[in-house]
């Protein structure tokens, strides 16, 4: 029997593209865990995550950050939050649950999403052609997050800086999303 050595690979192979005023990079240093909030534990969770990490539960389509900025919570639904945090290991779920130390339900989603960061002063010009939500800087301010559809692909968009956005699509759609961004960049730049 042959000896196989299997190596983990990110959904887009660590893609990095630099254009004039616009950069595309795959995000590979983050993990994602869904944190479901049972209705009767809501206030318990609120006080536990505040105590453990200095985190608040965000308002709909907003985000909050832990004291050390390593964990970001996204509120895309009423009864759950998505945790986006710095972690590259293979057990994101227990890593996060031990950090938050709150009576919620955790589901690891790290490997199911492709994460692409688009940045640069032309990023909004490229995105506005494929994104149906209003991205004007004062409406979609830094820290805002939304789930929508771009080029028929379900996408989460998170603004993590003045000219920086993270786009998440299901892993199997990663290449299609990258293509959509490249085509839009081609049309605009």
Partner 1 sequence: MIINHPLLGPRDSEEFVYLGSTDLINRPTNWEDEASAEDFYQYQYIRDNIAGDHQELWYHEQGDQSWLVVSRNTLTHEITNVELAQDVARTMGRGK
Q: Provide the binding-site residues for partner 1, judged by CB under 8 A.
A: 60-61, 76-78, 132-133, 146-149, 154
Tell me how far, at minimum, the Cβ of 20 lies from partner 1, in Å.
Answer: 30
Contacts of 139 (CB under 8 A, 6+ apart): none
Tell me how far, at minimum, the Cβ of 78 lies from partner 1, in Å.
Answer: 7
Tell me how far, at minimum, the Cβ of 53 lies from partner 1, in Å.
Answer: 24
| C-alpha separations of 23 from 1, 127, 137, 171 in Å | 44, 12, 18, 20
Looking at the Cβ atoms of 95 and 129, the one nearer to partner 1 is 129
CB 66 within 8 A of CB 58: no
The C-alpha atoms of residue 100 and residue 30 are separated, in whole angstroms, by 16
Looking at the Cβ atoms of 132 and 161, the one nearer to partner 1 is 132
Task: Dig out the tokens for 80 from the structure.
Answer: 């759950």
Looking at the Cβ atoms of 61 and 163, the one nearer to partner 1 is 61
């Amino acid at each position: 029997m042959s000896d196989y050595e299997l190596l983990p690979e990110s959904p887009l192979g660590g893609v990095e593209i630099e254009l004039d005023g616009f950069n595309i990079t795959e995000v590979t240093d983050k993990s994602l865990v869904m944190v479901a909030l049972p209705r009767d534990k809501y206030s318990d969770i609120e006080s536990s995550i505040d105590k453990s990490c200095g985190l608040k539960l965000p308002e709909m389509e907003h985000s909050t950050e832990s004291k050390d900025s390593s964990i970001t919570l996204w509120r895309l639904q009423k009864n759950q939050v998505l945790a986006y945090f710095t972690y590259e290991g293979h057990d994101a779920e227990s890593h996060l649950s031990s950090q938050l130390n709150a009576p919620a339900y955790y589901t690891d989603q790290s490997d199911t999403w492709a994460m692409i960061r688009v940045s640069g002063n032309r990023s909004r010009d490229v995105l506005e052609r494929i994104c149906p939500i209003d991205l004007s800087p004062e409406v979609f301010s830094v820290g805002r997050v939304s789930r929508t559809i771009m080029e028929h692909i379900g996408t989460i968009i998170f603004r993590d800086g003045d000219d920086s956005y993270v786009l998440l699509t299901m892993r199997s759609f990663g290449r299609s999303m990258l293509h959509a961004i490249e085509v839009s960049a081609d049309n605009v730049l």
